[in-house]
């Protein structure tokens, strides 16, 4: 069994996945870290600047394909893992990536209060600009229902420590 963390930027996926890893002895695999590694250490904002969002979304799909037969991992997904781009460059739900994620394991959506998410990522230069003309709040409002529909389990961690969140997930999974 694999455990898959999804959710928006700033939700706490990386911290909770690492904490859960210590409790259940599953290794953490980060889609974003694999992308950085496979591109010679190039940070994701630089990769997108040199390429484009469509190429990045296709690269995410390629990473998921490589992980299709994994077992016993915690997969820490980038915030946009459930999305692709249409022919006009607009963000759309990614059925191809969702199919792989559902085959891979149990999908856990980590949530935070809306304002907390916005405050957490504002001005963070380690994250690529999602859209030159759209505010993150606008993008987030469109993404939230997609995250919710994909998840087997949802956990709002606004008032939880990463340890409390990991324990709740461990209990939910029965491990």
Note the pLDDT tens digit of each residue in 84-129: 999 998 999 999 999 999 999 999 999 988 777 766 666 555 544 4
Segment 57-94, tens digit of pLDDT: 999 999 999 999 999 999 999 999 999 999 998 999 99
- 72 is annotated as contributing to ligand binding: no
> Any idea of the CA torsion for 65, 78, 86, 134, to the nearest 10 degrees?
-170
**Closest of 155, 149, 158, 150 to residue 167, by C-alpha:** 155
Number of H helices, E strands in the chain: 8, 7
The pLDDT value given to residue 128 = 47
The number of distinct structural domains making up the chain is 1
Q: Is 15 annotated as a binding residue?
A: yes
- Which CATH number fits the domain that encloses residue 17? 3.40.50.300
Annotation-wise, does 80 bind a ligand? no
Global pTM?
0.89
User: Is 76 annotated to bind ligand?
Assistant: no
Q: What's residue 114's pLDDT?
A: 73
| Rounded Cα distance, 60 and 144, in Å | 19
Establish whether 143 is an annotated binding residue. yes
pLDDT at 121: 60
26-61 confidence digits (pLDDT tens):
999 999 999 999 999 999 989 999 999 999 999 999
Q: Is 57 annotated as a binding residue?
A: yes
66 assigned to a ligand binding site:
no
Q: Is 105 annotated as a binding residue?
A: no
Q: Is 32 marked as a binding-site residue?
A: yes
Q: For residue 54, what are the domain limits?
A: 2-173
Does 127 carry a binding-site annotation? Answer: yes
Does 112 belong to an annotated binding site?
no
| pLDDT over threshold 60, residue 142 | yes
Give the pLDDT confidence score for residue 134 in this predicted structure.
54
């Amino acid at each position: 069994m694999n455990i898959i963390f999804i959710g928006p930027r700033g939700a706490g996926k990386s911290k909770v996945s690492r904490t859960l890893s210590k409790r259940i002895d599953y290794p953490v695999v980060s889609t974003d870290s694999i992308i950085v590694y496979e591109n010679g250490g190039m940070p994701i904002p630089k990769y997108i600047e040199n390429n484009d969002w469509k190429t990045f979304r296709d690269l995410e799909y390629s990473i998921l394909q490589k992980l299709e037969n994994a077992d016993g991992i915690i997969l820490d997904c980038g915030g946009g893992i459930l999305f692709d781009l249409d022919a006009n460059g607009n963000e759309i739900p990614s059925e191809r990536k969702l199919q792989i994620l559902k085959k891979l394991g149990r999908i856990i959506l980590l949530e935070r209060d809306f304002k907390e998410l916005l405050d957490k990522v504002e001005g963070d230069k380690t994250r690529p600009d999602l859209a030159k003309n759209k505010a993150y709040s606008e993008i987030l409002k469109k993404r939230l229902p997609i995250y919710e529909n994909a998840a087997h389990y949802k956990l709002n961690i606004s008032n939880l420590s990463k340890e409390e969140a990991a324990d709740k997930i461990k209990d939910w999974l029965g491990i």
